[in-house]
Amino acid sequence: MPMQMLAAIDVGSSEVSMKIYQFSKRTGIQELEYIRSMVEMGADTYNTGVISYDTVRELCGVLKGFVEKLKEYRIENYIAYAGSAMREAANRDMVLDQIRLQTGLNVQIIGNAQQRFLILQSLAGMMKNFEELTKEGVAVVDLSSGSLQVSIFESGHLQVTQNLKLGSLRVREILADIEQQTTSFVSVMEDYIGNELHTLQRLVIKTRKVRHVIVIGEEIATLLNAVNASKNRESFTVPQFDKFYFKLMRSREEEISKKYNIPYETATVLKPSMIIFRNLVSMLGGEIVWASNVGLCDGILSDDISRKHLFKAGHDFDADILSITRKMADRYESDTEHTRNVEQLSLTIFDSIRKISGMDLRDRLLLQVAGILHDSGKYVNMTHGAENAYYLVLNTEIIGLSEAEKTIVANVIRFNSSSEVPVYEQVAGMMTHVDYVRMLKMAAILRLANGMDRSHLQRIQDIRVTVKDNELKIMANTIYDITLEQGLMENRAHFFKQIFGLRPVLRQKRRA
């Protein structure tokens, strides 16, 4: 494979950065240049809800410098994402338009779940012992300027992940007026942060305990890694971390900046970061503390090379997506046996027509997620189960799925019970025409599979599917009476035929 180059741009809450990478299968990955500049977009958004024109001008000036660097390296392949500060700004569309007009760059707003997933993907690839830690129990604390994400792994798989709007810069901005009124601002921050984290502990962490806690975040991770390097070690024990924590809390920002050779602006948000992290270490019962300064730029690279299948992944994130999805189905008390049966029937049908359907393995994963979650809406109201499940999926962060993919899954579930093929106008504004067609194909498959277990008695589990003479022949190996399922198949066959041009026929295998 020839050498490839990629520029990854992160338009963050307090900093704009770009990393330029060069990579190939033969030489691996090389980081050629790392450029960063402080731009306090988050201070605008978290205070006023909009990004000021002065900040937009400053941001565009920095990005113009990035464009010159792209020209210097002759790079055309770049990916630029903006996170929470841009995402939450009421004038984000105007800001993105100004960036495009003044710099020529196309910056995309990335959803929180997708952003955190990219960073987790990068962590798994860069931290050599990550897989071992997940088996022992690990919490990954992704602490940014705008928010906090806690992801807990047990037995090698992601079990739960939760986001809070509790970033270091956001805390400083919220409490800015109080800082001038007290001589014990650290105590004020500890009280505020402790109260916010209490709900996380009550609803998400509960009694979960892990051995390892990894913090991700440029400022705090760089600092902790520098301290570890000076002691010739890779990690902190909790007593070692506590000792450093109390020492840092007693220091002034000017002293922190000078001693650890970090910008003063960075030093001002270190204390809230450390308070948040120490609280979480205590809640989770952590024994060993690790730090990683991987960021969104590294995540962009990891995702790009993963999609191109250039390097073998060190961790199975598809399994994590399914693990999180099953936890969600359990939370809403879905019929486990029914959903597992529908899931497997859907996948069997998918595999039988994959070559002629134009669908890929990512579509297979999304269909599987839809199968697992299709019954969850009955927890809210049994009368409108599919519609309720649609809203639950749209309003739940499923880490590993982009907002576009989550929208596809929600609509697959929504139209799984529809008697007619939904027209594009029903989803216009939510998805592209390409995604609309993908959604229809998955919905037709899920609708067929769901009909084969309409009784929720799993009378049909073992099926063989073949395509012949414009028919999808489904042979059910079962001893049960499947008259109900065959009758429903006739009603659902029309939708499937409209999408794939194949008429589904359900037959029962004859027994001797």
Write out pLDDT tens, residues 3-30: 789 999 999 988 999 999 998 777 788 9
How many angstroms separate the CA atoms of 26 and 24, rounded? 5
The per-residue pLDDT for 310 is: 67
Q: Span 143-168, mean pLDDT?
A: 88
Please, which residues have CB within 8 angstroms of residue 178's CB and are 6 or more apart in sequence? Answer: 185, 188
Q: What are the structure tokens assigned to 28, written together?
A: 């691996």
Which tens digits make up the pLDDT trace of 246-276? Answer: 999 899 889 988 888 888 888 888 888 888 8
What are the angstrom distances between the C-alpha of 378 and each of 255, 367, 381, 491?
A: 57, 19, 5, 23
- Cα 31 → chain centroid: 24
The per-residue pLDDT for 171 is: 83
Q: Is the pLDDT of residue 494 over 60?
A: yes
Residues 85, 88, 94, 96, CA torsion sign: positive
Which tens digits make up the pLDDT trace of 239-249? Answer: 999 999 999 98
Q: Is the pLDDT of residue 172 over 80?
A: no
pTM for this predicted structure: 0.84
Beta bridge partners of 476: 463, 508
Which tens digits make up the pLDDT trace of 182-207? Answer: 778 888 888 888 888 998 999 888 88
3-state helix, strand, coil in the chain (%, to 5): 55, 15, 30
Q: What are the structure tokens assigned to 285, written together?
A: 């019962």
What are the angstrom distances between the C-alpha of 405 and each of 181, 194, 223, 318, 417?
A: 47, 35, 36, 14, 20
Q: Is the pLDDT of residue 316 over 70?
A: yes
Please, which residues have CB within 8 angstroms of residue 410's CB and are 6 or more apart in sequence? Answer: 389, 390, 391, 393, 394
Beta bridge partners of 290: 214
The per-residue pLDDT for 167 is: 80
The per-residue pLDDT for 175 is: 79
The residue assigned the tokens 């992940």 is: 161
The per-residue pLDDT for 510 is: 62
